[in-house]
Structures are given as structure tokens and as C-alpha cells.
Amino acid sequence: MTEERFWDTENEITAAKYTLRDGAMNMRDASRIFRLDPAPPKPENINDYIVRAVQVNDMTYFLYFLHHYEPRLNRKVYRFFLNEGFFQYDPVRFLDYKLSCVLALLECLQNYDPSKGAEFLTFAHHFIDNALLDCRRYEEAGSFRSLDEYKVTRGIAWLRNNSGKTDKEVVAQYAAEQNYSEETAREYLKLAGLNRSRVPFYATVQDEDDEETGEDVTSDDSWNYADILWNGVRAEAVQAAFDKLGYREQTLLEKRNAVCMTCGRVGAWNDCPTFEELAVMFEGSSASGAERAYRKAVDKLAALLVADSVLCSVRLKQKSKTKRKKEIATAVYEYQADRDGEWGEIVIDFETGTAEIHRLAEWDTTKTQAYTKKAIAHLLRLPNEKLPKQDEIFFER
């Protein structure tokens, strides 16, 4: 690789400017977003630009690489869309996926070592595929805790839809193939079923000739909140608990979260009123008063869901703590399961990141200890200086 193959890094680079028509980007713009003008010279192997970027620690060479790699990246995103059944899509959606792939490339660049002998794209191929799947994961109506969980759910859904087998047979086959227990495979199949009805972030309508009109329908009033609420929390139970609240509590929750619990319409997050605006609605209240009322309404709704066995609750109460060098070294917390029964006690050692159970709460079983585990995990995640004197956490059964 010779020095003449690259531009002088002091040359001024002018990125290609795209033209917006009627405030919208077209597909040509989205597919040429990384084109440079003037174009950098093309080396025999565009991997030379990556090697150079690593050697001299200059990201200008990464821009040169993107200029030449962009057509291949476009084709990769196109193929992914076709495999997912997206035969029509808008430029903004296409660009979102593409930028996620570039972000994955930048993350890979930090760990790429040219001396290992592998080309950069060989090293980054897996991460680009993951970036595309991650974009798709966030478009799903379902809630997935991780990309790995989403991959597994896709796998068992594909088997269910293409094998022609019963759910019981699918669970048995997938558990054997992936070395899962049948109970775990059954949970993944259930999650795939919950995700069957999707609400896409990007949607356009078609005219009579099957041409896209460009009309945005993502704010359609026909949305049903049951498709949007968190997976596993039964919409019927949430509605029943909501109906038990007072008028003011219902209004605070609906207005602040931009949700209509009557028709199911979900509004734009930017349209949510501030606490000052909520205070004006309830004459005489201050912003802080409106916020306190809202927090109480949330707490009451959560308590109703706990009482109906939809959610689990862990109450925490700090009993004592010890400090070392102005930081909390250990803390003793009492905890209560589902707001009922005798309190248990745990000791958290923040220096070692460990915990010791002194006494189980009354409803925390000796086998699963689900409430203890949630309490410990929650406390260990908190910054040392923000440990609460009292707290409550909720989780799904």
C-alpha cells in the first residue's frame, strides 16, 4: 500500500449534499448519503482505507471507505427488507437501518487489528447483520429484553409457521435442537405469538395502482392500546384496574402518558402536557402538586395490579448502613413481598458486589427467592450515592 493511493488528509472534503423536495427525502438521497464530492480515489482493495485509518488514527479514511462501500451496504439493506417482506418502504426507514449498520462498523473499528490478517468486512459482517436485526427488533410490537431473545423468538416462530407441526411438536423439536428445556421453548413460542400483531413505526398507504402515496398513517386513530402495552401484562387487567381509579387520577394518567383508555389511541409523546399545564387543568394546583398527584395515581394503579396478581411488588426499607471513605460499604435492607406479610432482611456488600440473606420475606419462597433476587439486583445497580431509604419495585409474574 503506497502513500500515493490516499488523499492528503489536509485536503478539504465536501460531503455530498442531498436535495429535499417538499420537505421529504427520496430514495436516491438516502442511498447516496455517504458519497463525497470530489470522490476519493479507489484503491485496489477498500480495506486499505480501514488499515490506514487504524495506522494513523484518522477517521477521514473511514469516510473514504464508506464512499466506496455504500453501494454494497445499500444492497445488503435492500436484501434484508425483501427477506422481511418489506416490498415497499420509505427513504427515512431505509436510512435508519443504514445508519445503524454504520454505527456497528464504527464500533468494530475500535477493536479491529489489521495484523491478524482478516479483512475488516469479514470481521464486521456478523455485527452488521446484528444491527439490521436490532432495528427490526425495535419495530416489533412485542417487547424483547435483548437481541439474543429476539433471535430465538424469530427462530421458533419460523419453525412454527413453516413446519406445519402442532405447537407441542414445535416445542419438542426446538428444545431438542437448541438444547433448551421444553418449558423455556414454550415461553419463547408464547412470546412469538404475542408479537404476531405488529404496529410498524413506518407505514404508508397505497393508491389504486399499488403506488405509494407517501401519506403517513403511523398516527392512525384505529390503534389499539392492547397491541402497544408491555408484553405479558394483560390489557384487560390494566383496564379493570384503571376503571377503579377516580376521575382526576384517570385524567392525570391519560394526559401525562398521551393514552386514551377508552378508544385506545396513543398520541405523540411531544404532545404530553407538562405538570404546569396539568396544574392549570385542575385549578389551584401547583406544578409540584400535580406531579405528586400523578405519582400517587401511578402508585395506586400499580397497587391494584399487584392486588389482582398481575404484577409483583418488592418494598424496600433501609435499616442501617456503614461507610468507608465517604462511600457506603454495606447496607441492611428490609423487604416485603407484594405489600403483605412479614418483612425479610438482606445485607448488601457494595465493595464486593455480593449480598447475604438474613431472613426471607413471608411470601418469598425458599426455592425461587424471586423477590430477594429482584431487590438485590435493583440495589446493586444503583449508584452508591443514590441508595434510597425507601423504595418499591415492580416486576411481571
Residue 219: its pLDDT value, please?
Answer: 33
Residue 355: its pLDDT value, please?
Answer: 87
Residue 116 scores a pLDDT above 80: yes
Between CA 118 and CA 110 the distance in angstroms is 15
Interaxial angle between packed helices 182-194 and 167-178, expressed in degrees from 0 to 180 and rounded to the nearest 10: 120
**pLDDT tens, position by position, 315-327:** 999 998 888 877 8
Say which amino acid occupies 132.
L
Q: Where are the domains of the chain?
A: 3-139, 147-194, 225-307, 312-396
Helix H or strand E segment including 73: helix 60-83
How wide is the angle at C-alpha 187 spanned by C-alphas 186 and 192, nearest 5°?
95
Residue 142: its pLDDT value, please?
Answer: 60
Residue 345: its pLDDT value, please?
Answer: 92
> Which of the residue ranges 64-73, 107-116, 117-126, 345-354 has the most confident prediction, judged by mean pLDDT?
64-73
Residue 214 scores a pLDDT above 90: no
Q: What is the mean pLDDT of residues 94-113?
A: 90
**pLDDT tens, position by position, 287-309:** 888 888 888 888 888 888 888 88
In the chain, DSSP finds a helix count (H) and a strand count (E) of 13, 9
Asked which of 11-15, 83-87, 361-365 is least confident by mean pLDDT, the reply is: 11-15
| Percentage, residues of the chain above pLDDT 70 | 79
Radius of gyration of the chain (CA): 27
Between CA 234 and CA 28 the distance in angstroms is 44
Between CA 92 and CA 229 the distance in angstroms is 26
Residue 148 scores a pLDDT above 70: yes
**pLDDT tens, position by position, 316-356:** 999 988 888 778 888 999 999 988 889 999 998 888 888 88
Cα dihedral 274, 275, 279, 282 in deg (nearest 10): 80
Q: What is the mean pLDDT of residues 249-269?
A: 76
Q: Bigger pLDDT: 325 or 311?
A: 311
User: The C-alpha cell of 120 is what?
Assistant: 475488516
Between CA 57 and CA 53 the distance in angstroms is 5
Q: Bigger pLDDT: 75 or 230?
A: 75
Maximum distance among all Cα pairs of the chain, rounded to whole angstroms: 77
Say which amino acid occupies 133.
L
Asked which of 152-161, 195-204, 344-353 is least confident by mean pLDDT, the reply is: 195-204
**pLDDT tens, position by position, 354-394:** 888 888 888 887 777 888 888 888 888 888 777 888 988 88
**CA distances for 385 relative to 31, 326, 380, 381, angstroms:** 48, 9, 12, 12
**CA distances for 206 relative to 88, 91, 173, 216, 217, angstroms:** 10, 16, 40, 11, 11
Kindly report the average pLDDT of the chain as a whole number.
77
Nearest to 188 by CA among 174, 173, 169: 174
Between CA 386 and CA 327 the distance in angstroms is 11
Helix H or strand E segment including 376: helix 370-381
Residue 271 scores a pLDDT above 50: yes
**What residues pair up with 357 in beta bridges, in sequence order?**
346
Q: What is the mean pLDDT of residues 133-154?
A: 79
Residue 205: its pLDDT value, please?
Answer: 33
Q: What is the mean pLDDT of residues 256-272?
A: 71
Residue 49: its pLDDT value, please?
Answer: 92
User: The C-alpha cell of 100 is what?
Assistant: 445503524
Between CA 172 and CA 187 the distance in angstroms is 12
**CA distances for 160 relative to 170, 176, 188, 191, angstroms:** 6, 15, 11, 12
Say which amino acid occupies 121.
L
Residue 11: its pLDDT value, please?
Answer: 38
Residue 216: its pLDDT value, please?
Answer: 34
Listed as own residue / partner, the contacts of 3-8 with beta carbons closer than 8 Å and 24 or more positions apart are 5/41, 5/43, 5/48, 6/40, 6/41, 6/43, 6/49, 6/52, 6/61, 6/64, 7/40, 7/41, 7/60, 7/64
Pair 323, 271: CB distance under 8 Å: no
Of the pLDDT bands very low, low, confident and very high (cuts 50, 70, 90), residue 2 is very low
Residue 234: its pLDDT value, please?
Answer: 61
Say which amino acid occupies 141.
A
Interaxial angle between packed helices 182-194 and 147-163, expressed in degrees from 0 to 180 and rounded to the nearest 10: 90
Residue 180 scores a pLDDT above 70: yes
